[in-house]
Chain A
């Protein structure tokens, strides 16, 4: 079974530029999560999708971050414009139905550096 795929693996941009990350969850998984992991910290949930609907985006900085999962499969996370403090690893995870006892499967992450 293929795991969660993310691209790109690394991205370097200048502040005020835009950037987009892509995630392909495990086939058949209804729930998709985007996490931000700042160096030296644990991951923080940004947004959770159930199929193509948003379940929780309370910690997403909506003035600059946006995410979509239009067909309920792949997802993109965009930052526009980027700030220095957005430098982090962006992790995507998926789970079959999103219930509390389910394992979340994580992708390798996209490492973003904002200069």
Chain B
């Protein structure tokens, strides 16, 4: 099965909070990342968390990490239509340099 798994699709209303979830399998993951991809564009790093942390907040973004359950989430507060995009979770592992393993992506649709 996939090393990094995400749900395919999430739809929210403008102004609501969005929570995008990700599970991973490798306990040696060192850093976990959230990337955003808009149509026709490359990947933009949103935020990352080191594996010995359980939470990181950056403006409207909150990352929660449950290392025991190997579960990562990204919460976007006050979601805007400009947040509509595909969000990818990725991990890097011990002894794998900076090689990233990506999930399949979650398409976030924000309705006005």
Interface residues of A (CB under 8 A from B): 4, 31, 40-45, 48, 55-56, 91, 93, 95, 98-109
The dominant DSSP class at the A interface is loop
- Closest Cβ–Cβ distance, residue A5 to chain B (whole Å): 11
- 20 pairs from A and B in contact (CB 8 Å cutoff): A42-B88, A42-B90, A43-B100, A45-B100, A45-B101, A56-B96, A91-B42, A93-B43, A98-B98, A99-B97, A99-B98, A100-B30, A100-B31, A101-B30, A102-B98, A103-B45, A103-B48, A104-B45, A104-B100, A108-B41
Asked whether, in the complex, the Cβ of B45 is within 8 Å of the Cβ of A43, the reply is: no
Residues of chain A within 8 A (CB-CB) of B41 are 108
Tell me if A55 and B43 are in contact (CB < 8 A): no
Q: Which of B54-62, B64-72, B76-84, B102-110 is the contact stretch?
A: B102-110
Contact of A107 among B4, B42, B97, B100 (CB under 8 A): B42
Number of A-B contacts (CB under 8 A): 61
Interfacial residues, chain B to chain A (CB-CB below 8 A): 4, 30-31, 40-45, 48, 50, 88, 90, 92, 96-105
Q: Given A48-B97, A102-B98 in contact, is the A42-B104 Cβ separation under 8 Å? A: yes
Docked CA distance A31–B97 (Å): 11
CA distance A40 to B103 in the complex (A): 11
Say whether B97 contacts A41, CB under 8 Å: no
Bound Cα distance A104, B100 (Å): 9
Closest to A50 in B: B97
Given the known inter-chain contacts A40-B104, A42-B105, A101-B50, please indicate yes or no for A106 contacting B98, CB distance below 8 A. no
B105 touches A4 (CB 8 A): no
- How far is B30's CA from A44's CA once the two chains are assembled, in angstroms? 18
Set of chain A residues within 8 Å of B30, measured between Cβ atoms: 100-101
Q: Contact: A45 with B90, CB < 8 Å?
A: no
Q: Return A50 CB to nearest CB of chain B, in Å.
A: 8
The answer to whether B102 touches A44 (Cβ under 8 A) is yes
CA of A7 to CA of B102 in the docked complex: distance in angstroms? 24
The CA-CA distance from A40 to B37 in the complex, in Å, is 12
**CB < 8 Å neighbour of B99 from A48, A91, A103, A107:** A48
